[in-house]
Amino acid sequence: MNAAAGGPVAAIVRQHRLRWWEALPWAAIVAAYFLFPDHRALGAQILFMTLFALSLDLILGYGGIVTLGHAAFFGVGAYAAGLLAVHGWREPITGLLVAGVAAGIVGLVSGLVILRTRGITLLMLTLAVVFMLEEIANKASSITGGADGLQGVRLDPVLGTWRFDIFGRTAYVYCAIVLFVLWLFARRLVHSPFGRSLTGIRENVQRMHAIGSPVHRRLVTVYAIAAAIAGVAGALQAQTTQFVGLNAISFERSGEVLIMLVFGGAGRLYGAFVGAPAYMLAQDSLAKTDPVYWFFWLGLLLVCVVLFARGGLLGLLDAALRRLRR
Amino acid sequence: MTPALETVALSKSFGALPVAQAIDFALVPGARHALIGPNGAGKTTFVNLITGKLAPSAGAIRLGGVDVTRLGEAARVKRGVARTFQINQLFRGLTTLENVVLAVSEREGRAGDLFRVAGSRPALVEEAYAMLAGLGLADDALRPVRELAYGRQRLVEIAIALGLKPRVLLLDEPAAGVPATESRVILDAIAALPADIAVLIIEHDMDLVFRFAREITVLVQGAVLTQGPPEAIRADARVREVYLGERDG
């Protein structure tokens, strides 16, 4: 019993307790708003990409599903929100909800089919889904604007009060609040029995079958939830940039978010909060000066992370702290 | 008495290779049955057929008299079958306690809860902990299971299966890979299994088999060679030839 201070139950429940460092991302998000008033538009982009990466963490980091097609849901959300606004429904919050539901449905239906497979087959199928949806968005140009993108996304003020301004002030706060709410939800999810069973699937799917777990149903559920959150992230992009391009639903965007999460560290809930800002800030400063160089450095960094820091930046931090304590 | 587990003419082929040939087999509640046979006899395949990991080519499987041949793996677990694996299949990154809590939660149908915190049903955790304590694993409960010695990991395999409160327990070489110095605890754990569970054990260690089993089935090339109490099996000339003989000679 001595190993379990407060007993075994406390040891399990304790995992859900808020730790002081979990306030850090939020302190940083608030501080950034005041410290960099000229970069709030970029800040808003970082925030919705963080949300996108967070949604990927649920399926990759917890469910162990490797996907190269996650932007399919980001794109569906972006187009859903964009089209709603273009056709006159300009209330932003209901727009987000509709986008989330639309992406969630696409996630549910595609998940039901493709999650019957595993490994390389599954990876190829996730690719196939994003390619197909991108091509649909491209060909249906009368609806989506095709390669020119969806223009003229205009929205009402948030809650009838805060107008989207060109300085990105409303956009920043709006994205931050949506990210906060969905972070709370994701945190709750990973610490629920459902979340623990996802970890079980990631750790050993064979054993999960052997203890009678409905593995397919669990994976489809989390896939649909993550798709819905990705859809909300896409809707945030559509609403705050007032434009939806084909790149929102592309393979490149899928790869980008995967790199962000792997940089930050998958399966920790906070990898997204480190990886997405690091990636976007580096891209913003490096790509401006020389886009070729940006990809060079990105590639080099990727090699280093994959070879030497499998847990990403947070994994490195973890290891360093553990060494300090010893 | 209705058998806890019954197979009728159970057959399976991989292409042209038959790995289970019309196996008729039954376990009564409380059975202590050993399945032996040379390497490649199809022992693990038989277990995989019973659990639903493999689909049979022909024949039927019944649990408590109910046909489960068409049911999937998870549904059969719900009907009371649990197994351990020849090679550890644990949640290596999780604590020993969590390994068992996952099984207990699944059994109680609570593992899909989205809107509760893990551990918010203390009875499930207490039960898992008591299970570990009963197997002498209390001090390891909060350690990641990958840090445990191999022999103790084998015990966690058994703890997970027992967490499902099975009526039929299939032990696939529970002492495999365990050094002789540690195998004692495994033997004790097996001896202490609840009396009402029907247990089928696959094992190569003949000492263990003859100590544990009240009934032995000998499997050769996917077919039942013979079946009977340990004394009869020990005396059977054919068994000595195909199996035991290998060891004596």
For the stretch A111-120, pLDDT in tens is 999 999 988 9
- The pLDDT of residue A143 is 87
Residue A2 pLDDT exceeds 60:
no
Work out how many CB contacts closer than 8 A connect A with B: 137
pLDDT 10s digits, B191-244: 889 999 999 999 888 888 888 899 999 999 999 999 999 999 888 888 888 765
State whether B118 and A192 contact (CB < 8 Å).
yes
Under the banding of pLDDT at 50, 70 and 90, the label for residue A259 is: very high
B125–A8: do the CB atoms touch at under 8 Å? yes
3-class DSSP string for A166-222? CCCHHHHHHHHHHHHHHHHHHHHHHCCHHHHHHHHHHHCHHHHHHCCCCHHHHHHHH
Q: How far is CA A134 from CA A84, A146, A252, in A?
A: 19, 9, 11
**DSSP annotation of B240:** I
Q: Do A210 and B117 touch (CB under 8 A)?
A: no
Residue B177 pLDDT > 90: no
Instruction: Give the pLDDT of residue B245.
Output: 55
Full 3-state SS string of A15-66: HHCCCHHHHHHHHHHHHHHHHCHHHHHHHHHHHHHHHHHHHHHHHHHHCCCC
Dist. CA A249–CA A146, nearest whole Å: 12
How confident is the model over A182-196, as a mean pLDDT?
A: 95
Domain boundaries, chain A: 21-250+265-270
Comparing alpha-carbon positions, the chain B residue that sits nearest to A17 is: B117
**ipTM confidence:** 0.89
Asked whether the predicted pLDDT for residue B248 surpasses 50, the reply is: no
Closest by alpha carbon to A55, among A207, A272, A301? A272
Domains of chain B: residue spans and CATH: 5-91+164-248 (3.40.50.300)
What Å distances lie between residue A71 and A248, B76, B230, CA to CA? 7, 38, 62
Contacts of A95 (CB under 8 A, 6+ apart): A80, A81, A84, A85, A89, A155, A235, A239
> Which residues in chain B have Cβ-Cβ distances shorter than 8 Å to A13?
117-120
Q: What is the pLDDT of residue B211?
A: 86
Per-residue tokens: B217: 């089935």
Three-class SS state of B10: strand
Question: Which residues of A lie closer than 8 Å to B, measured between beta carbons?
Answer: 1, 3-4, 7-9, 11-13, 15-16, 188-189, 191-197, 199-200, 203-204, 206-215, 217-218, 221
pLDDT value, residue B236: 86
Residue A6 has pLDDT above 70, yes or no: no
Q: What mean pLDDT, rounded, does chain A reach?
A: 91
- Contact yes or no for A130/A251 (Cβ under 8 A): yes
Q: Would the CB atoms of A16 and B122 count as touching at under 8 Å?
A: no
Q: Quote the percentage of chain B above a pLDDT of 70.
A: 97
Amino acid, single-letter form, for residue A66: V
Q: Is A126 helix (H, G, I), strand (E, B) or coil?
A: helix
Helices (H), B92-168: 96-107, 122-134, 150-163
DSSP A231-264: HHHHHHHHHHHS-B-GGGGSHHHHHHHHHHHHHH
Suggest the residue from B102, B116, B129, B145 to mutate for an interface test with chain A (most A CBs closer than 10 A): B102
- Pick A96 or B179 by higher pLDDT: A96
For residue A3, pLDDT beyond 80: no
Distance (Å, whole) CA A190 – CA A23: 18
Q: Write the pLDDT tens digit of every residue in A268-307.
A: 999 999 999 999 998 888 877 777 777 888 888 888 888 8
Residue A165 pLDDT level (bands cut at 50, 70, 90): confident
Q: Give the residue with greater pLDDT, A257 vs B17.
A: A257
Q: In A, which residues are within 8 Å of B101 by CB distance?
A: 12, 196
For residue A308, pLDDT beyond 90: no
Distance (Å, whole) CA A312 – CA A32: 23
Over residues A124-162, the pLDDT tens digits come to 999 999 999 999 999 988 888 888 888 888 888 889 888
Query: CA-nearest residue of chain B to A185?
Result: B115
**How does residue A11 score in pLDDT terms, banded at 50, 70 and 90?**
confident
- Using CA atoms, how far apart are residues B220 and B225, in angstroms rounded to an integer? 6
* pLDDT (average), residues B50-64: 94
- Chain A hits for B51, CB-CB cut-off 8 Å, are 210
Residue B249 has pLDDT above 60, yes or no: no
Each residue's pLDDT tens digit, B107-141: 998 888 888 888 888 889 999 999 999 998 999 99
Question: Residue B122 corresponds to which tokens in the numbers above?
Answer: 């203390």
Pair of tokens at residue B128:
């898992």
Output the average pLDDT for chain B: 90
pTM for the full predicted model = 0.90
Q: What are phi and psi of B42, to 5 degrees?
A: 100, 20
Give contacts of A194 with chain B, Cβ < 8 Å: 111-114
Please report, as a single letter, which amino acid is at residue A74. F
Instruction: Report the residue from B73, B98, B114 with minimal CB separation from A189.
Output: B114
Percent share of chain A, pLDDT over 70:
98
> What pLDDT was estimated at residue B243?
67
pLDDT at B88 over 50: yes
b/e for B19-42, b at 16 or more Cβ within 10 A?
bbbebebbbebebbbbbbbeeebb
